């Protein structure tokens, strides 16, 4: 018994002696502006969110960029000067027009100037119908209700789409909720039974989907975003890299800016799971 106690004591001493504290002096990354916003043809408030990047190991909230001047332009000139509703959140009530081209200008309180590349607000098809299908648990899916829509794709290759989902009025923003597509293989055809939600719904859930017409630049941006967020966790993942959007700094175009400002028409449909 004494030998066992002695062995445990020596083992504890060995483990304690191995606990050297290593202080990593990690370099601070550059602080970059992040822009997230869309102009649509819907009534109501549209938002442009401005934040700064933060150190990876910071446990603080993402820094908001407050006190900036944000101006919305179309092909004819100034459309609106956005109001700052809360820190880093700039709003406009302007209703975008199909066929118009939009971009934003940003000037921070430090005097740094940024612009987005012009985006054409394009027509989007209506959603013909929306319905839900119950599925039992399987290897690939959890038990619950899955929403599907019927729509159509106009003739002419070169259209791109995005679907934004809201469950009980909460925007679904997880990596696998990111839905987008091109018309490469469905050009000019009806789209029947396109399944939307990744996580199953329950009885009583309120579901809303926005079908958006996006540009090729927005499609490419969403593709890169998905590669960096959804498909991670193995040795064969895409190496992490800065995702280039359509924002640039006016006086120093080589400075990296993150995010995207887009323009889109929107068709909506809602369903309550019963």
Q: What is the CATH number of the domain that holds 51?
A: 2.60.40
Residue 25 in any domain: the answer is no
Same domain for 106 and 136? no
pLDDT value of residue 58: 60
Mean pLDDT, all residues of the chain: 87
User: How far is the C-alpha of 179 from the C-alpha of 197, rounded, in Å?
Assistant: 9
Residues 105 and 134 in one domain: no
CA atoms within 13 A on the CB side of 115: 11
Residue 15 lies in a domain: no
* Residues 229 and 176 occupy one common structural domain: yes
Residue 207 falls within a domain, yes or no? yes
The confidence band for 49, taking pLDDT boundaries of 50, 70 and 90, is very high
How far apart CA 91 and CA 82 sit, in angstroms, is 5
Same domain, 133 and 60: no
| Last residue of one domain, picked from the residues 62, 95, 120 | 120
In a shared domain, residues 143 and 234: yes
In a shared domain, residues 140 and 236: yes
Going by C-alpha positions, the residue among 270, 165, 180, 191 that lies closest to residue 227 is 180
Residue 188 forms part of a structural domain: yes
Q: Please give the average per-residue pLDDT across 211-233, as a whole number.
A: 87
pLDDT of 10 > 50? The answer is no
Q: Do 219 and 141 share a structural domain?
A: yes
Domain endpoint, select from 86, 101, 120: 120
Q: Other C-beta atoms within 10 Å of 98: how many?
A: 14
From 97, 120, 143, the end of a domain falls on 120
Domain presence at residue 87: yes
Domain shared by 105 and 158, yes or no: no
How many independent structural domains does the chain possess? 2
Please, which residues have CB within 8 angstroms of residue 187's CB and are 6 or more apart in sequence?
153, 155, 156, 157, 159
Question: Which 8-state DSSP code applies to residue 95?
Answer: -
> What gap in Å lies between CA 268 and CA 243, rounded to an integer?
29
Q: What one-character DSSP code corresponds to residue 9?
A: H
Is 57 in the same domain as 142?
Answer: no
Asked if residue 136 belongs to a domain, the reply is: yes
Spatial separation of the C-alpha atoms in residues 179 and 161, rounded to whole Å: 8
Q: Give the residue numbers spanning the domain of 209.
A: 129-240+265-272
Asked whether residue 189 is domain-assigned, the answer is yes
Give the per-residue pLDDT at 228: 82
Q: Tell me, yes or no, whether 112 and 138 share the same domain.
A: no
Least confident among 57-71, 79-93, 99-113: 57-71
Q: Is the pLDDT of residue 27 over 90?
A: no
Quick check: is 175 in a domain?
yes
Q: Can you tell me whether residue 264 is helix, strand or coil?
A: strand
Q: What is the pTM (predicted TM-score) of this model?
A: 0.84
Within this chain, do residues 85 and 134 fall inside the same structural domain, yes or no?
A: no
Mean pLDDT to the nearest integer, 242-262: 91
Whether 65 and 149 share a structural domain: no
């Amino acid at each position: 018994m004494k030998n066992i106690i002695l062995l445990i004591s020596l083992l504890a001493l060995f483990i304690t002696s191995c606990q050297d504290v290593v202080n990593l002096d990690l370099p601070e990354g550059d602080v970059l502006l992040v822009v997230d916003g869309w102009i649509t043809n819907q009534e109501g408030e549209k938002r442009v969110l401005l934040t700064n990047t933060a150190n990876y190991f910071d446990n603080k909230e993402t820094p908001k960029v407050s006190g900036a001047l944000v101006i919305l332009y179309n092909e004819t000139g100034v459309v609106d000067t956005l109001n700052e509703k809360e820190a880093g959140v700039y709003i406009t009530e302007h209703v975008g027009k199909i066929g118009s081209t939009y971009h934003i200008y940003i000037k921070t309180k430090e005097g740094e100037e940024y612009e987005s590349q012009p985006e054409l607000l394009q027509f989007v098809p209506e959603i013909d119908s929306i319905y839900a299908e119950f599925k039992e648990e399987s290897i690939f899916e959890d038990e619950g209700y899955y929403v599907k829509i019927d729509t159509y794709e106009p003739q002419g290759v070169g259209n791109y789409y995005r679907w934004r989902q809201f469950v009980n009025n909460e925007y679904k923003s997880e990596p696998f909720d990111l839905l987008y597509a091109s018309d490469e293989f469905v050009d000019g055809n009806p789209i029947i039974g396109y399944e939307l939600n990744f996580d199953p719904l329950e009885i009583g859930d309120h579901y809303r989907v926005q079908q958006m017409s996006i540009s090729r630049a927005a499609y490419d941006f969403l593709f890169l975003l998905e590669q960096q967020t959804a498909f991670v966790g193995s040795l064969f993942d895409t190496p992490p890299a800065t995702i280039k959007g359509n924002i640039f700094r006016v006086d120093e175009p080589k400075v990296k800016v993150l995010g995207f400002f887009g323009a889109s028409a929107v068709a909506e449909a809602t369903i309550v799971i019963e």
